[in-house]
Amino acid sequence: MSIRKIVTLIEEIVTEGGEPVQPPARLAVVAAVIENPWQGQGFVADLGAGIRANASALGELLTAKVVAALGVPIEAYGKAAIVGLDGEIEHGSGLIHTLTFGNHFRNAANATTLLPAVEKRAPAGTVFDIPLKHITDATIRSHHQSIEVRIPDAPHAGEIVIALAAAAQGRPQQRLPAFFTEQ
């Protein structure tokens, strides 16, 4: 795996709706900008070799970094793959939609739910939103949120941005009723 750079974003929301958030709502994103392992190969029918060579190591690396960046227990999480213009969306999907990638994060967070994801092909500097959901119950509305990410110089045409996002809580000042209560 060839990594050009790693970007870490930490957000702390201290006021929402004019009211203090106690404790501050903390979110973290760690993104690796990697060379697309299938770059220049034309259409590759079986992505397995590239997935086996990269997905687990990438999941392990990003998990350790996002857990450290958040600094507190994870309650919500998500992932992203943004593929440069010379790649296929399936290249990013192949790396993040595998147990060898995701189980590192699930295990570190003591999670049982699937990681919500965004994947798309885009030029450098594109804005993308990583969706987050609760780590053990996807129906917990308070934890349905997203975090906006932009890396000004990535992905280059032959790169992929792979990112993990974690939150220490649900949305700040959330006050929607529990799922199914309005029926």
In a domain, 67, yes or no: yes
* The pLDDT of residue 54: 98
In a domain, 137, yes or no: yes
- Picking from 50-54, 113-117, 138-142, which range would have the lowest pLDDT averaged per residue? 138-142
Alpha carbon distance 177, 141 (integer Å): 8
Does the pLDDT of residue 175 top 90, yes or no?
Answer: no
Task: Identify the band that residue 183 occupies on the pLDDT scale cut at 50, 70 and 90.
Answer: low
In a domain, 65, yes or no: yes
Cα→Cα distances 113→14, 32, 109, 166, 177, Å: 28, 23, 10, 14, 21
Residue pair 167/66 in contact (Cβ under 8 Å)? The answer is no
In a domain, 133, yes or no: yes
Residue pair 57/124 in contact (Cβ under 8 Å)? The answer is no
User: What's 31's domain CATH number?
Assistant: 3.30.1330.110
* The pLDDT of residue 165: 98
User: Number of folded domains in the chain?
Assistant: 1
In a domain, 112, yes or no: yes
In a domain, 159, yes or no: yes
Q: Mind listing the pLDDT tens digit for each residue in 48-81?
A: 999 999 999 999 999 999 999 999 999 999 999 9
State the pTM of this model: 0.95
* The pLDDT of residue 14: 97
Angle between helix 89-96 and 48-70 (nearest 10) = 60
Parent domain of 134: 3-167
Smallest CA-to-CA distance from 15 within 172, 178, 162 is with: 172
Cα 124 from chain centre: 17
Both ends of the chain: CA-CA distance in Å? 49
* The pLDDT of residue 29: 98
Task: Identify the band that residue 16 occupies on the pLDDT scale cut at 50, 70 and 90.
Answer: very high
Contacts of 113 (CB under 8 A, 6+ apart): 133, 134, 135, 136, 137, 138
Does the pLDDT of residue 180 top 90, yes or no?
Answer: no
Task: Identify the band that residue 147 occupies on the pLDDT scale cut at 50, 70 and 90.
Answer: very high
Alpha carbon distance 167, 142 (integer Å): 12
In a domain, 98, yes or no: yes
In a domain, 183, yes or no: no
Between 51 and 176, whose confidence is greater? 51
Task: Identify the band that residue 177 occupies on the pLDDT scale cut at 50, 70 and 90.
Answer: confident
* The pLDDT of residue 182: 61
Cα 14 from chain centre: 23
